[in-house]
């Protein structure tokens, strides 16, 4: 049986979802080292396919002590619904796109990031904003990723 999969999805897969992927990879390794989990990211649109993560996203991750892996944007495809049981949209627009795309055979969960209060939250797209918007996106993503990992894997070790 494959380990559970966690897929982060934004529009272009160059800002929010690569940030969430990097945060989740480190958080998983540090807090749940004994639990297997496949982690990846993609976008709902194809216009950035093959492009690296936005340099501002990479800079903000590095400044916060993350080691962003080399990244190439990609668009979600039908195989992702078989490979990942937990699909996390960064905002409601992408959640709607994913919901419409979902094959009937998908038996996982598609949702927004969790907040500590148990509600779901959107991560504003920082692409057309300044570096501070990327810093704020990272802060929100760190909180949400911890909550999602706890939901999937249980309390940290």
Question: Which pLDDT tens digit goes with each residue over 116-136?
Answer: 777 898 999 999 999 999 999
The model's pTM is: 0.95
Q: What is the pLDDT of residues 49-98, one digit of tens each?
A: 999 999 999 999 999 999 888 999 999 999 999 999 999 999 999 999 99
Contacts for 96-100 with beta carbons within 8 Å, 24 or more apart? 97/44, 98/9, 98/44
For the chain, give the mean pLDDT. 94
Instruction: Name the catalytic one among 56, 72, 125, 139.
Output: 125
Contact between 141 and 20 (Cβ < 8 Å)? yes
Cα-only R_g, the chain = 14
Report pLDDT for 46: 96
The candidate with the shortest Cα–Cα distance to 27, out of 118, 117, 138, 122, is: 138
Q: Cα separation of 34 and 92, whole Å?
A: 33
Instruction: Name the catalytic one among 10, 25, 54, 91.
Output: 10
Enumerate the domain spans of the chain. Answer: 5-153
Report pLDDT for 157: 76
Report pLDDT for 119: 83
User: Is 10 among the catalytic positions?
Assistant: yes
Instruction: Name the catalytic one among 15, 16, 26, 42.
Output: 16
Q: Which two tokens stand for residue 144?
A: 């949400």
User: Is 125 among the catalytic positions?
Assistant: yes
Report pLDDT for 3: 62
Q: Cα separation of 27 and 5, whole Å?
A: 15
Report pLDDT for 106: 93
Range with top average pLDDT, 6-10, 102-106, 119-123: 6-10
Number of neighbouring beta carbons within 10 Å of residue 101: 17
User: Is 78 among the catalytic positions?
Assistant: no
Report pLDDT for 1: 47
Class of 5-153 in CATH:
alpha beta
Q: Which two tokens stand for residue 83?
A: 């490979």
Contact between 144 and 90 (Cβ < 8 Å)? no
Contacts of 95 (CB under 8 A, 6+ apart): 89, 110, 111, 112
């Amino acid at each position: 049986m494959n380990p559970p999969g966690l897929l982060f999805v934004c529009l272009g897969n160059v800002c929010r979802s690569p940030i969430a992927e990097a945060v989740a990879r480190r958080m998983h390794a540090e807090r749940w080292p004994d639990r297997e989990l496949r982690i990846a990211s993609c976008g709902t649109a194809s216009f950035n396919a093959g492009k690296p993560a936005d340099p501002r996203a990479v800079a903000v991750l590095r400044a916060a002590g993350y080691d962003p892996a080399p990244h190439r944007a990609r668009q979600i495809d039908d195989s992702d619904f078989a490979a990942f049981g937990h699909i996390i949209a960064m905002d409601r627009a992408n959640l709607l796109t994913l919901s419409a795309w979902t094959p009937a055979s998908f038996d996982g969960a598609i949702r927004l990031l969790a907040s500590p209060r148990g509600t779901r939250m959107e991560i504003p797209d920082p692409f057309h904003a300044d570096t501070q918007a990327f810093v704020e996106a990272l802060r929100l993503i760190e909180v949400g990723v911890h909550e999602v990992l706890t939901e999937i894997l249980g309390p940290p070790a």
